Structure 1
């Protein structure tokens, strides 16, 4: 049964910062598009070079850049195919009452064949039919400029703007199986569905135009991490971390570091410079080194750190992907503790046994 609430807003409200980011991006994108079209045809400087569907294309690229409908292939191929579909239709039927709906139908079929669905392309087909009624219509070159050139300009501007403002565009693709050069998936993906399975699931639910495979995998992975973190209750990094730390000084020699790793059987060793955190050394960094002048400071690598009030989910996010063995916990510049992957596994295992 359809209820009144079904007609209300169906999405969460965006932050004002995100709305401003998207609005400015769309404006910059359309301005760049108009400039490029003018440079391509300076003789048309007195004409309005943008076509109305570009407004909808800009909305997708700058407001929802992670949508499959907003990706470069969908934008450029979808809009261009729609224009060509309209031009073919006009060659067969001059009457716009017939050509307009036929052009849109043919455009949808073309986009489906090319896997390039882009909703504004339907408007491109209609705009082409309408523009063809003008004596100044450019004919078949209309598909090249403004449609192809303008679509490419919006995509190029979208790539630059989104990446400069912290958004990923084009959207994420499934990563290679492993960062270790093996066929195994990354550790945080081994219990989930393979990309092909996710793609099949999206197709079965008819949701493939709404979300990409990799973004869906990230959502499922994040949900799994949160579910696992719930087993740890409301524990923070301060509750989990080791406090009585064995540290190295930046000036410690290679021989001293090797002795510390042998004695304590650690995989990582944090550096402390008079109580201030100065980096983390992985035991693998010592392999093959013989130069006695090498110091701990030469081997320290920058890794992600967290404050004492970070959640268990924050720790799991950093330790699950295999990029680092331990997370230094910093209270300002001071090294307050260390959480290793082994610490977290042992704690999670104990909580699961008790539940």
Structure 2
């Protein structure tokens, strides 16, 4: 019974149920795209025969499958413009070459598809409907043969190009990114974002997909988004029930953006901390200033000497002393009161940020330092250790 259930599960759907909105978006777009494509092709009135346009050659049947990919799964590598345009065109060229050299239909059918697949793979333009293009050439050999290799360019390449043009516009208008194949490197985190983003280059992601034989099914850009989402989800559930509000510090020492760095240095010495939040007169958070920021300001790359006397002479020549706004870090990770503890761990584990500001609509309401986080983790560990001991004592009693 278990074996039968496993077989039935393997034969069942491999794709999750679609959302109604996405399903309607794709289906309506496919209908609009194919209709516009037919209209545009008819305007061109090509290819021409002795009696005028041949309606059977104005549109190729595999274009329906290309439409399905371009509108329903626009993020798939198989649906991208290069794959579709080059795949369909080269397959048509292969099909025409086969019908001109092979006169046995049964042999030409298999040979056309085989050679078309090989050509697509060599050109990195794998597009499943294109195999149908090659087969279609053989099945309609009597109509295609008079056109020769021109058939590959009109109607095949023309049809595909017009359809892809409509697909690009429609997907953009309905919120889908198309084409979408080039992996985007992870940039610096903007203020307000939280969570650890694994820094992986596009080449690394591509190598992983190729090693797992998944490069034809998912692109590097999609894999990067999946990794981000998985890390974010894992971080949120790492310490379920523990939120930022439970561990953040409410007694805040802040600095003003125009505060001179000499005064900030005095605050560091007085309060024995490593980071101060910078807050404007309107109460809005603007950035973080750390001890490392002050050190970098004192040891500028253009300094000719690092000696004490040289620094004093250089300081005496400076008319205006640098202020917090000149040295602070503006792009930092921030959280809210309800951010899970796991996200805080991600932010502070990166190493560049010593504390995480807690904001409410841009206003600073607290801060979580590494010391706060370590204390929270130690408390959680202590509670976890005591719980089994209490249970054991209760059972002994």
- TM (norm. structure 2) is 0.65
For 1:206-256, what per-residue CA distance to the aligned partner results, in whole angstroms no more than 9, with x for missing partners? x3322234533543454355445543333233334443333455xx4252x
- 1:140 aligned onto 2:144: no
> How many residue pairs end up in the alignment?
338
CA deviations on 1:175-201 (whole Å, 9 max, x unpaired) are 38x97xxxxxx97247xx944651443
The structure-2 alpha-carbon separation of the partners of 1:200 and 1:123, relative to structure 1 and needing over 3 Å to count, comes to closer
> 1:12-27 to 2 correspondence within 5 Å?
12-27=16-31
The residue aligned with 1:171 is: 181
Tell me if structure 2 keeps the 8 A contact 1:198–1:217.
no
Distance in structure 2 (CA, Å) of the matches to 1:31 and 1:281: 56
1:241-320 correspondence to structure 2 within 5 Å: 241-248=248-255, 252-255=257-260, 259-260=263-264, 263-264=267-268, 266-267=274-275, 269-275=277-283, 277-280=284-287, 301=330, 306-312=335-341
Shift of 1:117: 1.5
Deviations 1:299-354 (A, max 9, x none): 895767554323345556777789987655443464333456x4797479758977
Change over 3 Å in CA distance of 1:347–1:10 after alignment to 2: farther
Aligned equivalent of 2:60 = 51
Extract unaligned runs of 5+ from structure 2.
Answer: 189-195, 301-317, 385-397
8 Å Cα contact 1:241/1:339 also seen in 2: yes
TM-score using structure 1 length: 0.71
Question: CA deviation digits over 1:73-131, x for unaligned, max 9?
Answer: 22222111111111111112355554333322221121222222111111222333344
CA–CA distance in structure 2, aligned partners of residues 25 and 321 of structure 1: 43
Structure 1 residues 101 and 224: alpha-carbon distance in aligned structure 2, compared to 1, 3 A threshold:
same
For 1:151 and 1:323, how far apart are their aligned partners in 2? 49
CA distance in 2: counterparts of 1:118 and 1:86, whole angstroms = 15
CA distance in 2, matches of 1:54, 1:124: 8
Matched, 1:216 2:245: no
Please identify, of 311-320 and 222-231, the stretch whose mean Cα deviation from structure 2 is larger. Answer: 311-320
Q: Contact between 1:187 and 1:322, CA under 8 Å: does it hold in 2?
A: no
Take 1:79 and 1:135, find their aligned partners in 2: how far apart are those partners?
Answer: 15
SS of structure 1 residue aligned to 2:180: coil
Counterpart of 1:11 in 2: which secondary structure?
coil
CA distance in 1, matches of 2:131, 2:122: 15
Cα pair 1:82 1:122 within 8 Å, conserved? yes
Note if contact 2:232-2:343 (Cα within 8 Å) is conserved in structure 1. no
CA contact (8 A) 1:268 1:281 kept: yes
Distance in 2 of aligned mates of 1:99 and 1:21: 39
Select 1:8's aligned residue among 3, 12, 32.
12
Shift of 1:38: 4.7
Cross-structure match for 2:364: 335
Superposed CA RMSD in Å reads 4.5
Cα 1:8/1:263, change in 2 over 3 Å: same
2:87 pairs with one of 74, 78, 97? 78
Stretch moving more, 163-172 or 102-111: 163-172
Aligned equivalents of 1:310, 1:5: Cα separation in 2: 38
Task: Note the C-alpha offset of 1:263.
Answer: 2.1
Contact 1:240 1:343 in 2 (8 A): no
Q: Which runs of 5+ in 1 are unaligned?
A: 180-185
Query: Judging changes above 3 Å, is the alpha-carbon distance between structure 1 residues 198 and 159 closer, same or farther for their aligned structure 2 residues?
Result: same
Does the 8 Å contact 1:281/1:296 carry over to 2? no
